[in-house]
C-alpha cells in the first residue's frame, strides 16, 4: 500500500462480490504464488497458486475459486485475476 502502486481491485462472482487486492507474487517451481488480500470485510489473506500452464493459456484472466465464498459454504464462485497482475 505504501509502494505507490495503484492496486487493482479484483472481485469474485458472488452477489455481493468479495473484493481483493493482489499482494505479493512469488515465482515458484511450476508457477506463481499470488497473495490475495480480501478488502471487506477483513479476512486473512491467502496465497493462490497459478501454474505456468494457466499463464500460457490464451485468456486475459486466470480464474481461482473465491476462498471467502468457499469458507462461507457458498457454491462455486471465481475470482478473475488478470495475468498482468500475476507476472513476476
Ligand atoms: Zn467470494
Å from CA of 8 to ligand 1 middle: 16
Looking up cell 470485510 gives: 41
Query: What are the boundaries of each domain within the chain?
Result: 9-86
Å from CA of 13 to ligand 1 middle: 6
- What would the pLDDT profile of 4-43 be if each residue is shown by its tens digit? 456 789 999 999 999 999 999 999 999 999 999 999 877 9
Å from CA of 25 to ligand 1 middle: 21
- What would the pLDDT profile of 34-86 be if each residue is shown by its tens digit? 999 999 877 999 999 999 999 999 899 999 999 999 999 998 899 999 999 99
Three cell numbers, residue 87: 507476472
Å from CA of 19 to ligand 1 middle: 8
Long-range contacts from 2-7, C-beta under 8 angstroms, 24+ separation = none
Å from CA of 77 to ligand 1 middle: 6
32-62: b (≥16 Cβ within 10 Å) or e = bebebbbeeeebeebbbebeeebeeeeeebb
3-state secondary structure at position 48: strand
Stated pTM of the model:
0.85
Amino acid at each position: 500500500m505504501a509502494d505507490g502502486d495503484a492496486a487493482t481491485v479484483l472481485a469474485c462472482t458472488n452477489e455481493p462480490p468479495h473484493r481483493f487486492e493482489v499482494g505479493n507474487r512469488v515465482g515458484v517451481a511450476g508457477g506463481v504464488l499470488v497473495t490475495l488480500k480480501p478488502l471487506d470485510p477483513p479476512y486473512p489473506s491467502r496465497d493462490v497458486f497459478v501454474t505456468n500452464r494457466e499463464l500460457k493459456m490464451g485468456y486475459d484472466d486466470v480464474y481461482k475459486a473465491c476462498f471467502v465464498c468457499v469458507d462461507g459454504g457458498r457454491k462455486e464462485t471465481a475470482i478473475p485475476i488478470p495475468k498482468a497482475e500475476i507476472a513476476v
